[in-house]
Structure 1
Amino acid sequence: MHSELSVEGSESVALRVREELARRRLSRQWLADEARVSLSTLEKALAGRRPFTLATVVRIEDVLGTSLRGPKADLAQPPGLFAPESMGAYARPAVQWLEGSYLTLRPSFSEPGAIFAYLTSISWDDANGHLVFSEASRTDAEYEQRGFVSFPNLSGAIYLVTISEGQYRVALLNRPSGGGMTGILLTLAAGQGAQLIPSALPIVMMSTEARSDMVVGVVRKGEACFDEYRECVDRVTERGFALFPR
């Protein structure tokens, strides 16, 4: 018979497991499958209706890459599965729905009233163990951005971050709704002469899946897709997806 933890020890492990699942947005079903434990057994142990066995705890520790007994101490995490704490400690199974190609829309800096459209892809970086993004199909290709994705559990917001030689550029996005991901882009825009000035503007990212009518570049009034693009960008402020208080 497998040795069982004491009541106090089992309660402590259950609390730690619930914290890890919530922090990393992992499901109990996923943990049960990965740790080779029945979901019913895991549910009962987490609810305190039966104690954890030592063998089960060891398997769960291996899956989560963290010690569940005694002081918190990270073990060697499975490579490429969990993002760093600084990015939200998310696990790949919990964020796979974010991976894909997106049509990205924002107001144009160069032409007032026009919409600037380009592509953004989000994928998993196996070597570093976190999501990354990269832009493409921009008419100003020299300014195409690439960086990492931060997804903290505390707010649930999604950050696309570029850091280059000490300069930051951030897209702060809400979780996807019917119209895709919406939010604010914080960047630098060209001012007078060679001056760069801080700028904030609405941004929309819509999945390109099943779309065949995309237009990229500077899209002007009267051109194909302009009305749809304009409505998507205007919706960010009109429906309170982002605030620009005065």
Structure 2
Amino acid sequence: MSIPESELSDEQSRQVADLIREEIARRRMSRQGLAEQAKISLSTLEKALGGRRPFTLATIVRLEQALGVALRKAPSAPPAVPPAENGIAPDSLGSYSRRAVEWIEGTYVTLRPSFGDTEAIYAYRTDIAWDEAASSLLFREAARLDAAFTQFGEVAVPNQSGFIYLVTNRHGQHRLITVSRPTITGEMYGIITTLLAGRGSLLTPIAAPIALLPLRNVPEPNLGRVAPIDPNYALYREHLRKTVEEPFALFMPGVS
């Protein structure tokens, strides 16, 4: 049976285009390559992504098969649990109140080792703020050199562990940052676990120390890839060393 050529609405087409562009950037693939895998013309793909023509159901099915991801939203199901109370985060994030986590809100200079240069430090900005609609803290990154990999997500603050979790969940793919509660001067130290992008579509799990410094503590921050000759390099390196030397996080030796 042939797939009907029904067209998506303009809003649905925009949502699908956003998802496809995100997948192309994440996988570092070309539009030509995607068109060939989906067995559609490059012209059809370009026009749909550019908003010059709507996606058809047949095109969407081919793209979903090529990417291995769902591009159409399923009908909304009734909530399995009652929504969180106003001003209280869901139980899955620690059931914290906004007042209890106000001291975490703010803008941070985020530091981790550079994955591409062993001598450099990678620095970018992370904003943590309360979101009324989500009734929880959310975080969003900014000023990253690799803008296509900018992350955002939820912030969990459970009482039991005493740690804070910045969780990204994009179509089931997770990235996790686990950091300590802020020190008296506001810094948070811990571990990032993510995927290292290699050649083509190769991805490799990787973990590294990470530090979040309140922006007010770094009057003139360097962002991007910070080399030993750059201002603030010594300060950044000291904070990353503190993560392991205090220790706020442990890295077990590998199997010899």
- Kindly provide the amino acid, as one letter, of the partner of residue 215 in structure 1: N
Q: What does residue 202 of structure 1 align with?
A: 209
Q: How far has the Cα of 1:75 moved from its partner?
A: 9.0
- Kindly provide the amino acid, as one letter, of the partner of residue 232 in structure 2: C
The reply to whether residue 82 of structure 1 matches residue 88 of structure 2 is: yes
The reply to whether residue 212 of structure 1 matches residue 211 of structure 2 is: no
Q: What does residue 128 of structure 1 align with?
A: 134
Q: How far has the Cα of 1:194 moved from its partner?
A: 2.6
The answer to whether the 8 Å contact 2:84/2:135 transfers is no
RMSD of aligned alpha carbons? 1.8
Residue aligned with 1:209, SS: helix
The answer to whether the 8 Å contact 1:179/1:232 transfers is no
The reply to whether residue 228 of structure 1 matches residue 235 of structure 2 is: yes
- Kindly provide the amino acid, as one letter, of the partner of residue 235 in structure 2: E
Structure 1, unmatched stretches of 5+, are 1-73
Residue aligned with 1:176, SS: coil
Alignment of 1:101-112 (within 5 A): 101-112=107-118
Q: What does residue 141 of structure 1 align with?
A: 147
Q: How far has the Cα of 1:77 moved from its partner?
A: 6.2
Give the structure-2-normalised TM-score. 0.64
Residue aligned with 2:218, SS: coil
Deviations 1:155-201 (CA, angstroms, capped at 9, x unpaired): 11100000001100000001112471000001000235431111110
- Specify whether residues 185 and 75 from structure 1 end up closer, same or farther in structure 2 by C-alpha distance, changes over 3 A only: closer
Tell me how many residue pairs correspond in the alignment.
172
Structure 2, unmatched stretches of 5+, are 1-80
- Give the Cα separation in 1 of the matches to 2:187 and 2:93: 22
- Kindly provide the amino acid, as one letter, of the partner of residue 220 in structure 1: A
Q: What does residue 185 of structure 1 align with?
A: 192
- Kindly provide the amino acid, as one letter, of the partner of residue 89 in structure 2: A
Q: What does residue 97 of structure 1 align with?
A: 103
Q: Percent sequence identity over matched residues?
A: 44
Q: How far has the Cα of 1:211 moved from its partner?
A: 3.5
Residue aligned with 1:230, SS: helix
Alignment of 1:157-176 (within 5 A): 157-176=163-182
